[in-house]
Structure 1
Amino acid sequence: MSEQNVTFPQLNKPAPAFNAKTTFGMKTLEDYKGKWLVLFSHPADFTPVCTTEFMGFAARAEQFAALNCELLGLSIDSVHSHIAWARSIEENFGVKITFPIIADLSMEVAKAYGMIQPGASDTAAVRATFIIDPNGILRAMVYYPMSNGRSIDEFVRVLKALQTSDEHKVATPENWQPGEDVIVPPPATMADAEVRKDQGYQYIDWYFSKKSL
């Protein structure tokens, strides 16, 4: 596959629509309207790193659900392969996979989301994760190498941070955790910058102020 044929979704733009066969029947992006969605790909079924990741997502499924967020996996394998793999995980590790997995044999979804990357893998979807908001807007995405697993806790953290930013119109600092102080958006004019230190925030400089929620 040439690099010219590789497309990538864009942050803060509508996520690519899909109508895909999954282990839970047909699923479309529209099915998730009104909820957050974490869409994540893996290179192949019955691979050890992917197995640990799927168990990680399954173990935190209730945390995502509590945040009004659904999970949706994907790989370029068949539904039958997905079913066999999910059953194997439950039999061997005692972990039930409670979310659907897209069977993307045509690679249509993988291509739309930039999961097929020359130089990383031409025949399998790389490890990619996308967080899509209730309006179908792509809010975060991250790609991982084939050899290394993801931190599922980080996606829980980012989801909480995004929801906090949306609700309170603030930003969050490095490794922010719920309950910690947030960053106030910097002033947009000279006049606002002049008075920032008198507005009751935790003032460091005109562009850097924090507050508690």
Structure 2
Amino acid sequence: MTLRLGDIAPDFTAVTTEGEINFHEYLGENWGILFSHPADYTPVCTTELGTVAKLKSEFDKRNVKVLALSVDGLADHEGWIKDINETQATQVNFPLIADKDRKISQLYDMIHPNASENFTVRSVFVIGDDRKIKLIITYPASTGRNFDELLRVIDSLQLTADYSVATPANWKQGEDVVIAPSIKNEDISSKFPKGHKVIKPYLRSTPQPNI
């Protein structure tokens, strides 16, 4: 199954370190991140889960629920979490799916046979509060993810979902944004009362409208 941006994120029921969950029910009215790990007791994954635990408050501020996945079993997950808490000086505070039968991995196309026939790659899915997939990123197993970048992207996705703007290259929270080409010049002042700048007819900027 090939998933694309704008598709409804497939629902599933899973056994996790925080009990059985239904994915859509777990998300509720929140946004979500679903991200996979090649295996338990691996070094890069250990640092990633520790990093996400430390950033939990940042995801909470954005109404984003986090859910991780590995193809190992629940007993392995529970033992591994003890290692993560010890080595990363944190407490894992979100569910980790035990996908031993690989059903969810296959549902979300997380296993890439030319990379590994048995283990998931580092897939990331950001899902909106409308259950639609907003972002898909795939990393190789050897490269840890930049979760500060994922927070930045979520800021952009949530901003652009509510306002007729886009975010330019390397944009960060609080910086100017780009006005959507669909907005006519005569309508800019009413839609963006903070002011705007015309750089080119197709390139118009305005201060971030939601702060």
Distance in 1 between the 2:163 and 2:106 partners? 35
Partner of 1:120, secondary structure, is coil
One-letter identity of the residue aligned with 2:20: M
Distance in 2 between the 1:138 and 1:95 partners? 29
* Deviation string, structure 1 residues 117-146 (Cα, Å, up to 9, x no partner): 121111001001110111211100100011
Q: Is the 8 A contact 1:115 1:126 kept in 2?
A: yes
Distance in 2 between the 1:85 and 1:196 partners? 58
Q: How far off its partner does 1:156 sit?
A: 0.8
Matched with 1:4 is none
Distance in 1 between the 2:22 and 2:188 partners? 50
Distance in 1 between the 2:79 and 2:124 partners? 23
Distance in 1 between the 2:56 and 2:109 partners? 25
Q: Give unmatched runs, 5+ long, in structure 1.
A: 1-6
Partner of 2:198, secondary structure, is strand
Q: How far off its partner does 1:201 sit?
A: 3.0
The number of residue pairs the alignment matches comes to 202
Q: Is the 8 A contact 2:14 2:22 kept in 1?
A: yes
Partner of 2:125, secondary structure, is strand
Q: Give unmatched runs, 5+ long, in structure 2.
A: 190-194
Matched with 2:157 is 162
Residue 68 in structure 1 maps to residue 63 in structure 2 = yes
Partner of 1:46, secondary structure, is coil
Q: How far off its partner does 1:33 sit?
A: 2.4
Distance in 2 between the 1:104 and 1:198 partners? 49
Q: How far off its partner does 1:206 sit?
A: 2.1
Residue 25 in structure 1 maps to residue 19 in structure 2 = yes
Q: Is the 8 A contact 2:47 2:88 kept in 1?
A: no
One-letter identity of the residue aligned with 1:13: D
Residue 89 in structure 1 maps to residue 84 in structure 2 = yes
Name the TM-score, length of structure 2 as normaliser. Answer: 0.90
Q: How far off its partner does 1:197 sit?
A: 11
Q: How far off its partner does 1:13 sit?
A: 1.3
Q: How far off its partner does 1:176 sit?
A: 1.1
RMSD, aligned α-carbons: 1.7
Name the TM-score, length of structure 1 as normaliser. Answer: 0.89
One-letter identity of the residue aligned with 1:97: V
Q: Which of 22, 38, 51 does residue 56 from structure 1 map onto?
A: 51
Q: Is the 8 A contact 2:40 2:70 kept in 1?
A: yes
Partner of 1:30, secondary structure, is helix
Distance in 2 between the 1:187 and 1:131 partners? 26
Residue 14 in structure 1 maps to residue 5 in structure 2 = no
Distance in 1 between the 2:196 and 2:105 partners? 45
One-letter identity of the residue aligned with 2:177: V
Q: Is the 8 A contact 2:112 2:121 kept in 1?
A: yes
Residue 37 in structure 1 maps to residue 28 in structure 2 = no
* Deviation string, structure 1 residues 56-86 (Cα, Å, up to 9, x no partner): 1111011001111111000101011111000
Q: Is the 8 A contact 2:50 2:85 kept in 1?
A: no
Greater Cα shift, 84-93 or 130-139:
84-93
Distance in 1 between the 2:77 and 2:104 partners? 16
Matched with 2:192 is none
